[in-house]
Amino acid sequence: MLFFVSTVLASLLLIPSYALPTGSHGDHRPGFPRLPPVFHGGILCGLPIPVVQRFLCPRQDGGSPLTVSTPFGNAHGASDDSGTTRFAVKYANHNRWQASTVVTSWLLPNGQSDPTAMPMACPQTDLNSSAFVEDCLSMVLYVPDSVKSGSKAPTLMWIHGGSFTFGSANGPGLDGSKLATATNSIVAVIQYRLGALGLYAPSGETNLAVKDVMTAMTFLQRVLPSFGGDASQITIAGQSAGASMIRTLLAVPSAQNLFKQAILQSDTMDYGFYTPEIHQTLLNHFKASLSCSATDTTCLNALSLTDILNAESDLSGAAPGLTPAANPAEPLRPVHDGTLVTSTFTPITPFPRVNKPLLITTVNDEAGFTIYGGVGPGGLDPATYEFMVDSAFGQKSATTLLAFADYAVPASANSTDGDGGETDVTPQLQQMGTDQVWRCPSWTFARNWVSNGGRAFVGEFVVGASYPGNEEVPFCTDSGVVCHQDDIEIVFGTAPNPTPAQAALIQEIQARYSAFLRTGNPNTDSLRTWTAAGTSNVHATQLGASGEAPVGGCDPSLWGAAVPYDYQTLGL
């Protein structure tokens, strides 16, 4: 079976309800898969979603200055009434398309002298050039006032999402002050090189962005004791592509001594790492778009960021035509190079023996923004739905999927819905997309992790806070709906004017994260038991409700067995 059926796009565009609007070029937002206007790579791709981008919302508030002595020199920060002190710092030096190295002295980001200034983003397309800088390997430390020298506090290091091409430490909701105070821990929100600058060095060196994150952890290990942190108690956490970065790091043997455990939120686990051959194919196309040879360092260093980002955009658009593995939702990804990244966590390589505790979560309506934003208010009729599933998955798998209760066309489909229209089966498509890309492969990963010596706790957010930008799709603001990214402001405690249900979940999840940071277990005496995942039943705890999430399509006999995941079909 091959998911990437070239005839689907042409067929869909003949249907007026799904034709692309003039000038539509898709949407991309931090933490959410990039969605160009093509139906390619499973059920989620091909739904045009024209929404306004929202990238940066830095805290530029003032505060009283504070100085802390570190091995790198004096760290200058600013405290405010949040109960934390914020330290923005450049953690690494790097030359273009070369591996980063830990700094030798404490420097504020962007050459600033004002300790309240926040880091500028790493270079990325669709962001004004005044908002990014190439020398962008910075982080923001949030240190609660309760943590003093010698405290041995744990640290949560957050890795932002954005399909490996967008986002920053200044993303909406990523102010770590409340999370640091609630967990009595240090919170570090980091940046890493994005897109072609982080993943497609003309020299052929791979995974520079992954190495950046390792450099950030090395910096933290050296500096944390100065702030009252324990260098051996680093938990890495991230959402969407940030979680995918963590999955990559779990496959890097040389990174294992840099962190103790990990939290993966909404990882697009259906997308595997690239093979060296796929990476080389994409790299060749990128190099052909540059006006320099791969060995002409002087020329490469003289290229403008505009030229590089234009070549990156060309690569992203061309990638699906170069290899079926290049899903347009995330065309630029880390590579299983066999030297740094030594496992795929898929059947292609033996699953390694593991021992780190993991906390793995998804949200109830991961695909809601994509599906409802693409289908639109007119809904999806059964005939078009069946055509889409058949075209995307092939007849055999489509028959299996459409026979499953969660995805089946209702028996009443031939009757009207009361308004004279056909039955709307958008909910079935949304559930299928959620299960395919996020929920079920995450459960499969958890079962495999436990089977190979690790411990995992699986959860599903059934309460969320609508993330900035998600309001562009009305479905995502409906009561009880939790779309992709709606967990971020719950975890960070930055949801504006939280409802009682949101406030209760913020308090619960921060208490569970506090426990996990210290023990590798999210359970506390005051909260209901969160059962650890087993080798068959993952016991996915509902976050925001009592009980466990229904298994549904994530039964091991469906996704990954009767219907292969993308990474199985594509040999990743």
- Annotated active-site positions, please? 240
Sign of CA dihedral 438, 5, 555, 246: negative
Distance CA 398, CA 387 (A): 9
Q: What is the DSSP letter of 422?
A: P
Q: Pairing between strand 455-461 and 357-363? A: parallel
CA dihedral 209, 212, 216, 221 (to 10 degrees): 120
- Per the structure block, which two tokens stand in for 318? 């061309």
Q: Give me the residues paired with residue 548 across strands.
A: 541
Burial of 234: CB neighbours in 10 Å, binned 0-12, 13-18, 19+: buried
Query: Could you tell me which of 559, 422, 571 has the C-alpha nearest to residue 43?
Result: 559
Distance CA 452, CA 446 (A): 10
Rg (CA), the chain: 23
Helix or strand holding residue 48 (H, E): none
Distance CA 383, CA 413 (A): 10
What is the number of residues in the chain? 572
**Amino acid occupying residue 291:** S
Distance CA 133, CA 109 (A): 10
**What are the CA-CA distances from residue 546 to residues 131, 215, 463, 543, 549 (Å)?**
43, 40, 11, 8, 9
Q: To which residue do tokens 């709307």 refer?
A: 424
- Per the structure block, which two tokens stand in for 541? 């705890």
- Per the structure block, which two tokens stand in for 212? 């950046």
Sign of CA dihedral 448, 358, 157, 80: positive
**What are the CA-CA distances from residue 186 to residues 50, 221, 460, 538 (Å)?**
38, 12, 25, 30
**Any idea what the Cα angle at residue 78 is, between residues 76 and 79, rounded to 5°?**
135
Instruction: For residue 67, give every residue at least 6 positions away whose Cβ sits within 8 Å of its Cβ, in sequence order, or none.
Output: 74, 75, 76, 77
